Amino acid sequence: MKKPILELWLERGLFASRWLMAPFYVGLVVALAALIVVFFQELAHELPHLLTMKPEDAILLALSLIDLSLAANLLVIVILSGYENFVSKIDTASHEDRPDWMGTVDFSGLKMKLIASIVAISAIALLKAFLKLTEPGQTVDQVRLFWLVTVHLSFVASGVLLAVMDWLNGKVEKH
């Protein structure tokens, strides 16, 4: 039985609407470029102090750069897997540098990578706050520390709950 023409055009239009997501991914590429700028600003700001840096300062610099790197990695994962999952396949199958995960990260995997990155970024922010406490003359802002720990634990709990939901979903018989 042939579909009515109106239904056919509606379905084609709905399918084509996925391209409305493309500007979001272009915007995320702009955000990635902004992270590169901030990364090098942070590096340029601290390099003149390199020879006089205390170990704690070097660790804080490294953590800041790692934090930016994790955020950038997260953006790349969201850009590439989001585009491939929701807009169109990226034709790079023959390229030697194509990441192994491309084309294999589904929405569930994307959620898990997202929460794992957020937990790691939160952990780094928490570690940076604790490291600053080791500096002479630093006082403990207990309210700020409380909220950093609370937010971090919320992200961890969210990640565990998402993992359990995905695990349970995998156990359910598909219809």
For residue 175, pLDDT over 90 is answered with: no
Task: Give dist(CA 93, CA 102) in Å, integer.
Answer: 9
What is the structure's pLDDT at 45? 94
Three-state DSSP at 80 gives helix
What is the structure's pLDDT at 167? 84
Report pLDDT digits (tens) over 20-59.
999 999 999 999 999 999 999 999 999 999 899 888 888 8
Instruction: Estimate the crossing angle of helix 22-46 against helix 55-86, to 10 degrees.
Output: 170
For residue 15, pLDDT over 70 is answered with: yes
Give residue 112's Cα distance to chain centre. 10
What is the structure's pLDDT at 103? 65
What is the structure's pLDDT at 19? 94
Report pLDDT digits (tens) over 93-110.
677 777 766 666 677 777
Report pLDDT digits (tens) over 149-166.
899 999 999 989 988 888
Task: Give dist(CA 36, CA 30) in Å, integer.
Answer: 10
Report pLDDT digits (tens) over 107-145.
777 778 888 888 888 888 888 888 777 777 777 677 888
**85 vs 11: which has the higher pLDDT:** 11
What is the structure's pLDDT at 154? 92
What is the structure's pLDDT at 120? 87
Number of domains, the chain = 1
Task: Give dist(CA 136, CA 80) in Å, integer.
Answer: 45
Length, in residues, of the chain: 175
Tell me the residue range of the domain where 23 lies: 5-171
